[in-house]
Amino acid sequence: MTQSDKVVLSSIDGGIACLTLNRPEKKNALNDQLISELKEALTNAAAKEEVRTIVIRGSGSDFCSGADLAALEKISKSTAAENAADARALQELFLLIRQLPVPVIAAVHGRALAGGCGLASACDIIVASRNARFGYPEVKIGFVPAMVTAILRRNVSEKMAFELLTRGDTIEADEAHRIGLVNRVFDDGTFENDVRQFADGFATVSKSAVSLTKTLFYQVDGLPFLEATETGVDVNVIARMTEDCQKGIARFLQKKSG
């Protein structure tokens, strides 16, 4: 496959891997090829030692408008087994994002709707341009936003998650920030630079510490309090033995004694 045939473009600059959804004529709508290429690009980027964070963005006017018409037509003609395989492909993408050792940031401009909003929600962090719009409109066509429900339920309050999933409304970036779905909102004119500066922040902290924190963060999700704290003990011990921690403590003590 040539670079021009790809629907996910990859680049690395200064420790930031940028993965660009490249179907602008389709509003970067999800299809089998895009999901497959995105999983491959995420895995490849996270495997590179110099990468501290991954940014997913969309080309053109939108981040991702959900499933394309061909994908919807495929659903209407598929068997239960075929539909299950389709759903699992998206599940694998969402799980992969959580399992990667580096933070994954969704940089959302324009529309992030249905599966596109699910993709953004599955990322560790969402930063949005002020013109961004978010929504799960699946119920308007009799569909269920099933693949994102477990994620959204953990991102925002129970009642707000229920409202978003069952009304199918679209909300603006500032409202998404107010309810906790979005981490930061940046002005449209400075969005690219602001995203870069935000992502650069991960270059100033320990990669191993961030990786262990991410693993712990999702591992304790749903655990009883005692088990969660026991898991914290295990990760604490691992962290103390890392090279980053040993060097960091040495630098701190040297600075205090100097």
Catalytic position from the list 73, 138, 158, 230: 138
d(CA 151, CA 142): 21
Q: What is the pLDDT of residue 251?
A: 86
What are the C-alpha distances in Å from 189 to residues 16, 85, 151, 186, 214?
21, 41, 30, 9, 31
d(CA 201, CA 118): 25
What are φ and ψ of residue 135, in 5° steps? 180, 160
Q: Which amino acid is at 201?
A: G
Q: What is the pLDDT along the chain (258 residues), one digit of tens a residue?
A: 455 689 999 999 999 999 999 999 999 999 999 999 999 999 999 999 999 999 999 999 999 998 776 777 777 788 888 888 888 999 999 999 999 999 999 999 999 999 999 999 999 999 999 999 999 999 999 999 998 999 999 999 999 999 999 999 999 999 999 999 999 999 999 999 999 999 999 999 999 999 999 999 999 988 999 999 999 999 999 999 999 888 888 888 888 776
Q: Residue 113, exposed/middle/buried by CB under 10 A (0-12, 13-18, 19+)?
A: buried
What is the distance in angstroms between the CA of the first residue and the CA of the last residue of the chain?
57
Q: What is the pLDDT of residue 57?
A: 98
Asked whether the whole model's pTM tops 0.85, one would answer yes
Q: What is the pLDDT of residue 3?
A: 57
Q: What is the pLDDT of residue 70?
A: 73
d(CA 231, CA 214): 13
Q: What is the pLDDT of residue 68?
A: 77
Task: For residue 73, indicate whether it is catalytic.
Answer: no
Q: What is the pLDDT of residue 96?
A: 98
